[in-house]
Amino acid sequence: MTTVRGARFGGPSAAAGLVVVGLVCQEVGAAFAVLLFPSVGALGMVALRLTFSALVLLAIARPSVRGRSRGDWMTVVGFGLALALMNALFYEALARIPLGATVTIEVLGPLVLSVVTSRRASSWLWAVLAFVGVFLLGQGSFGDLDPVGVLFAVGAGATWAGYILLSSRTGSRFARLDGLALAMAIGAVLTLPFGVLAAGPAIVRPDILLLGAAVALLSSTIPYALELFALRRIPSSSFAILMSLAPAMAALAGVVLLAQHVSVLGVIAIGLVVVASIGAVRSARPGTIPGARADVV
């Protein structure tokens, strides 16, 4: 009976379900963050998310800082900088363009990284398909997209690609969640002054702090914990395929929680990017899977 229960509740299907739940939490957290922008601004939201995420991760991981080499510290500082910049660019984009459009453009970063590192000619077909989807995205799928917001989303995607590379290096130097906890703390320290400056006294209001903590839990803590569990039970390629559903999840969250409109053309555009992401994952070489977080394996 114990074996049956383990197969039923701890098998690949259950693990895949946890990844999907984590994705839902991430996009719900992003939608809640949008609701806080009028009070604290995008940078204030970044500071709140990273600070609360860092506090939770530091409490869980309790990373050791003794005996670390200069290379270790340079790697984790670079990872923290990538985390801070990626979140700042993402939220600045989110303040200007809809959630579904932001995430769809952002995933081009890891997709292109996968295509480049795969060194297979067939992989470029997926890149072309993705860019066709993004082109359609700009044809009124979400209304008129703010060009500055689009540039921020592109920047977030490029930084996400760098995040993946630094995540892998951090995971090879630090055990378990130690590297992620330290990087998140570094990211919080880097963004907090800008967040306080942007938000002003509102950032310490109890209701704002409570909502900021909720966004951190939904966007970081819960998804990372679920992914940590799932990555021990399914291959990283399967995990990355599930993560490719992020644009669709984001568009759905935008429609349901933020009343954002998506046209039929927008649905087709998002579908093309999702298919391209899945195709890129399936054609990628081992070790170059986009989206997988090496630091939480």
pLDDT per residue as tens digits for the range 84-93: 999 999 999 9
Lowest mean pLDDT among 16-20, 29-33, 186-190: 16-20
What is the average pLDDT score of the chain? 81
User: Cα-Cα-Cα-Cα dihedral of 137, 142, 148, 149, to 10°?
Assistant: -100
Q: Is residue 2 part of a domain?
A: no
Q: Where residue 49 falls among pLDDT bands split at 50, 70, 90?
A: very high
**Per mean pLDDT, which range of 30-44, 139-153, 182-196 is the poorest?**
139-153
152 domain-assigned: yes
pLDDT winner (highest mean) among 138-142, 147-151, 171-175: 147-151
Instruction: Look at residue 93 and tell me if it is in a domain.
Output: yes
Tokens of 272: 């093309």
pLDDT on residue 284: 61
Give domain status of residue 213, yes or no: yes
User: Residue 36 falls within a domain, yes or no?
Assistant: yes
Contact in structure between 244 and 77 (CB atoms under 8 Å): no
Nearest to 170 by CA among 254, 75, 243, 284: 75
Average pLDDT of 26-51? 92
pLDDT, position 91: 95
Q: What pLDDT sits at residue 294?
A: 36
Does residue 6 belong to any structural domain of this protein? no
Section 249-273 average pLDDT: 86
Check pLDDT > 70 for residue 3: no
In a domain, 43, yes or no: yes
Q: How many domains does the chain have?
A: 1
Would 134 be classed as within a structural domain?
Answer: yes
Residue 289: give the domain boundaries: 12-296
- Residue 117: CB atoms within 10 A of its CB come to 18
Position 46 confidence tier, pLDDT thresholds 50, 70, 90: very high
Instruction: Average the pLDDT over 21-34 and give the result.
Output: 90
74 to 55, 179, 196: CA distances (angstroms): 21, 12, 26
Is the pLDDT at 52 greater than 90, yes or no?
A: yes
Residues 6 or more apart whose CB falls under 8 angstroms from that of 146 comprise: 96, 97
